[in-house]
Amino acid sequence: MYSVTAELSRLAGWTAFDVNDHEAAQRHFIQALRLARAGGDVQLGCYVLATMAMQALMRGFHTEAIDMTEGAFERAKGAAAPRVPAFAKLIEARAHARADDGRAACRALADSETLLARAHAGADEPHWIDFYSHARLSADAAEVFRDLRKPKQSITWHRQAAAMAPGVYTRSVGMRLAIVATAHLQNRELDQGLDLGNKAVEVLSRVSSKRAHAYVHELTSALTPWRAEPQVQDFLHRARSVGSAA
């Protein structure tokens, strides 16, 4: 009962995070941690802590996010199925990338990939972590390398993610398109960036998510060198339809 209630509290926290209500998200996440501890569910506690780290890194608190993921990983040692600490290492990689520490980001990403290779769906794998697959790792790796301003590597990881995940959620598709569009712009490829950017806007215009819209804002910021171009002006006008600060 404690574990099920903890899962529901984590989901409530994630929903609040998605709509930018960070205070409510933190309250729900902390409650989820307490419930997981009360139920002796180490795996779920580690997952909640990694989720809190994602909230922290998206808010710009990179050091705090890294500390949380390291704590989650240490607690998961010997007490969790491989997919659980693998996810913690993925979020650590994203936090290091946001902090512009390429070496640490690559190391954490490699650790996550190694752990994920050991994972096997089955009785020992919690149902709430089955979303974390090589397709998800590849999609997040594209974001890691975009944040590190290594666009070619970001685009390569995106292609792997697209090849492995034909049925992912609409919001995830839109965010990944915005990420790789930004990577193309970092690589000075305006046409490719606008093409994928328009697809991202089309997808995310149907999604109500402050977190997803933030990716469009990052994309529009990357268009600064070309703002005078007519096609860019047209895109910026369309981007406003998803509520980004274009």
CATH number of the domain bearing residue 117: 1.25.40.10
Does 106 lie in the same domain as 78?
yes
Does 205 lie in the same domain as 176?
yes
State which amino acid sits at residue 106: C
Burial string for 108-120 (b: 16+ CB within 10 Å, else e) reads bbebbbebbeebe
Q: Phi/psi class of residue 199: alpha, beta or left (left: φ > 0; alpha: ψ in -120 to 50)?
A: alpha
pLDDT digits (tens, 9 = 90+) for 120-157: 765 578 889 988 999 999 999 999 999 999 999 999 99
Q: What is the pLDDT of residue 165?
A: 57
Residue 83 lies in domain: 1-132
Q: What is the pLDDT of residue 30?
A: 96
What distance lies between CA 57 and its chain's CA centroid?
Answer: 10
As a whole number, the mean pLDDT across the chain is 91
* DSSP characters over 155-194: HHHHHHHHHH-TT--HHHHHHHHHHHHHHHHHTT-HHHHH
DSSP classification of residue 79: T
Q: What is the pLDDT of residue 171?
A: 80
Domain count, the chain: 2
Does 86 lie in the same domain as 206?
no
Does 128 lie in the same domain as 155?
no
pLDDT digits (tens, 9 = 90+) for 149-190: 999 999 999 998 877 655 555 788 889 999 999 999 999 999
What pTM value is reported for the model?
0.90
**Residue 59: which pLDDT band, with cuts at 50, 70 and 90?**
very high
104, pLDDT greater than 70: yes
In terms of Cβ atoms closer than 10 Å to its own Cβ (0-12, 13-18, 19+), residue 182 is: buried
